[in-house]
Amino acid sequence: MSDFPFKPEVVGWELTLRCNMNCIHCGSTAGEPRPNELTEKEGLDLIDQMAELGTKILTLSGGEPLMHPSWHIYAKKLVEKGIAAYIITNGLLLEAAIPKMLEAGMRRIGVSIDGMEKTHNFIRNHPNSFQIAMKGIKKAIENGIAAGAITHISKANIGEMEDMYQHFLKVGLSFWQIQITFSQGRMKTHDDYALDPQQMLDIADFIYKKQQEGKMQVVPGDNMGYYCEPPITKRPFKGCFAGRHLMGVDADGSIKGCLSLPREFVEGNIRTESLRTIWEDPQRFKYNRYFSTDMLEGYCKDCPKGDPCRGGCTVTAYAATGSKFNNPYCVYRVMREKQV
Ligand code: SF4
Ligand code: SF4
């Protein structure tokens, strides 16, 4: 293994951009597949290349990954290679997929749940999506798979967090990851649901209280929190890991620092170069590998936490301000401004 200082230890892989939902907040505008998605042979070769570069954890994502015919073949190979394989699904095809998940050795899944029934079905643009996803989750839990919910908080569902928590407890979810919706893809046309930065405080407060109750693992996603008092993360945020220890793969083989980043962040494609050539090129992923605090702008410019924070989640900052290093969605900033 090379001594290159950055390794793609954690990977998000968009198997396909195809999706059987049409969520109003979808940052990837999923629905139709990308014009030239990887073949199964190319996908299996990519897994070999990732294993050689030191990938340890990989999340199968989309679009809807369960719509990709090879998802379980990839999952099996990942597990055989010693790479922990997770999946994030919208839940519509979950129940039928459970035998294949078990066969592949998958033991932990995340399901996107964005509110109680009416709100979830509205956000997901599908009349029965809540019921179907919940049925799949229950079946997964019965079969020994640890299931968690992943929720994008916006103005459409912020008022339902307590109801969701109570429901998730009843269902027996293992974890709940809470992140904020950012203004990218289809969400750009639904900006009226975008949170006010001040609402981050309410979300942080909610997460903290539920963590204290200790009944379920409630964790903030990468774009939620930062140096809260009291803290809601085990360790202080150490800056966006995109292109440092995290990598995103689009369904056509394009490589980015993080799967959530838009296409202008593509650094290469595995169809034209090896993954190692792309990843270990000192000229790529420069925005994050060679950070210095003078790159910070706007809200983050004179922040005392600028190093190590680096402006928080790159995609959230970029979606909100057009700058990678200017992030209004920061609890620390809101707390300082309010002098809480
Ligand atoms: S203001 Fe910016 S740099 Fe400071 S903690 Fe918040 S996101 Fe990080
Ligand atoms: S862009 Fe955001 S979600 Fe992606 S690695 Fe950076 S902090 Fe995490």
Q: Which ligand 1 atom is nearest residue 326's CA?
A: 2
Residues linked to residue 14 through DSSP beta bridges, in sequence order: 61
The pLDDT value given to residue 1? 61
Name residues whose C-beta falls within 8 Å of residue 131's C-beta, 6 or more positions apart in sequence: 117
Give the end-to-end CA distance of the chain in Å, rounded to a whole number. 48
The pLDDT value given to residue 27? 80
- CA-to-CA separations, 339 to 312, 332, 333, 335, in angstroms, rounded: 20, 10, 9, 6
The pLDDT value given to residue 340? 54
Widest Cα–Cα separation across the chain: 56
Check: pTM over 0.75? Answer yes or no: yes
Q: How confident is the model over 87-134, as pLDDT tens digits?
A: 999 999 999 999 999 999 999 999 999 999 999 999 999 999 999 999
Residue closest by Cα to atom 1 of ligand 1: 300
At what angle are helices 129-142 and 161-171 packed, to 10 degrees? 40
Instruction: Using the mean position of ligand 1's atoms as its centre, give its distance from the Cα of residue 182 in Å.
Output: 16
* Ligand 2 within 6 A of CB of 315: yes
Residues of the chain with pLDDT under 70: 1, 340
The pLDDT value given to residue 183? 78
